[in-house]
Amino acid sequence: MSGKINAVLAALLVICALSLVKSQYQARHLFIELERAQSQARQLDIEWAQLQLDQSTLGKHARIEEIARRDLEMTQLTPARTQYLTEGGQ
């Protein structure tokens, strides 16, 4: 009788030990994945900041004005050439 219990317990012990090994392996695996995802997040953050910076640099008013004047031959609006539409007006 006790021999049977021992056998069952031994089998249980082996199963537990193996599952511990497996879960430890899985934990490592997931950890590596997490690390990779986090570093990717950081990288994307940096890229986002870089892109915002580029947007601001390229959208500089000085640059827009220069391109508008030189390449697109635009001129500034004067009130004399503006027709204002007022709400409720005739």
Partner 1 sequence: MTRATSRASNRASSSAASRVAASKGVSFSKSPVLAVRLPTWRSRVVLFVLFAAFAALAGRALWLQGLTTQFLQKQGEIRYARTIELPATRGKITDRNGQVLASSIPVKAIWAIPDDVLQAPPEKLRELARLLDMSEADLRKKLDSDRNFVYLKRQVEQDVADQIAKLKIDGIDTRKEYKRFYPQGEVMTHVVGFTNVEDIGQESMELAQQKNLVGQTGSRRVIKDRLGHIVEDIGAKHEPHDGKDLVLSVDSKIQYIAFTQLKGAVEKFKAKAGAAVVLDVHTGEVLALANYPSYDPNDRRALTGAQLRNRVMTDSFEPGSTLKPITVALALDKGKVSPHTTIDTGNGRLQILDRNISDTKAHGVITVQQIVEMSSNIGTSKIALSMPAQDMWEMFTKVGFGQQPKWGFPGAVAGRVRPYKSWRPVEQATMSYGNGISVSLIQLARSYLMFARDGDTIPLTFQKSTALPAGQPIIKPKTARDMREMLEMVVSGKDGTAKQARIPGYRVGGKTGTAYKVENGRYAMPRKYIGTFVGIVPLSAPRFVIAVMIDEPTQGGHFGGQVAAPTFAKVAENALRASNVPPDSTVTEIVAPADTGSEAM
Q: Which residues bind partner 1 (CB under 8 A)?
A: 27-28, 31-32, 35, 46, 49-50, 52-53, 55-57, 59-62, 65, 77-80, 82, 84, 86
Q: What is the CA radius of gyration of the chain?
A: 35
Task: Tell me how far, at minimum, the Cβ of 19 lies from partner 1, in Å.
Answer: 19
CB-side neighbour CA atoms (13 Å) of 73: 0
Work out how close the CB of 86 gets to partner 1 at its nearest, in angstroms, rounded to a whole number.
7
CA dihedral (28, 30, 32, 38) in degrees, to 10, reads -150
Closest distance of CB 7 from partner 1, Å: 35
